[in-house]
Amino acid sequence: MQLQIDLGRLIQDIIQYGIQGLIAIIIVLIAWLLGSVVGRAVNRLIERTGLEKAFDKTDVGKAFRSAGIDLSNLIGMLVTAFIVVIGIVIALGYLRIGGEAGALIADVARYLPRLIGGIILNNCGCYTSGPTHRLYREAPHGAVPQAVRGDRGNAPQLTAYWPHRACRVAGA
């Protein structure tokens, strides 16, 4: 039994897979460039809307600041990562690499939008909890039910944790 290697076929396969690998790398690089541009744009948008300043007034925002985390940079990096992961998924699809590695990367790509949405919803909730609490607290007597307004009479279990301490605006 003799091992035969068809050099012509071997060279043809190396060239074919090499070109596919280069195209996959180009796809990932384009995704990285696009992601960094969009991430910077989102970063600037969050800074200009004042969302970050409002977030910094919350206890969570103060904790982020003390840890050295900037909200706009965090969301910008998540957007960049999301776009890069989409590029990697496209490149893996082009290379037809499946199995566990492909499934894992696809799962990460499906999870990132939920993470970004959760951060945005948390930020919006923290931003609105302080003014909403002040509105109910300062409402005329009888205009808002006591349990909602924060009086300790009827339902102290409802008001003991509202608004949540992590989202409480400084001075509320």
pLDDT tens for each residue of 57-93: 877 778 778 888 888 888 888 889 889 888 888 887 7
Number of folded domains that form the chain: 1
Q: Is residue 26 part of a domain?
A: yes
Could you give the 3-state DSSP secondary structure of residue 95?
Answer: helix
Q: What is the three-class DSSP state of 163?
A: coil
Comparing 19-33, 87-101, 140-154, the range with the smallest average pLDDT is: 140-154
pLDDT at 48 over 50: yes
Residue 21 lies in a domain: yes
Beta bridge partners of 58: 169
Range of the domain at 138: 8-167
Confidence of residue 169 (pLDDT cuts 50, 70, 90): very low
Using the structure block, give the residue that is written with the tokens 């496209």: 90
Per the domain annotation, does 155 fall within a domain? yes
Compute the CA torsion angle 138, 140, 144, 147 (nearest 10 deg). 60
pLDDT-derived band at 5 (thresholds 50, 70, 90) equals confident
Instruction: Tokens for 151, please give them.
Output: 């009086």
- pTM beyond cutoff 0.75: no
Q: Has residue 64 been placed in a domain?
A: yes
Distances (CA, A) of 35 to 27, 86, 107, 130: 12, 10, 19, 34
**Which amino acid is present at 21?**
G
The sign of the dihedral angle between the CA atoms of 168, 52, 77, 112 is positive
* Residue 106 within any structural domain of the chain: yes
2: in domain: no
Residue 27 has pLDDT above 80, yes or no: yes
pLDDT computed for residue 172 by the predictor: 46
38, part of any domain: yes
| In a domain? residue 132 | yes
pLDDT at 145: 56
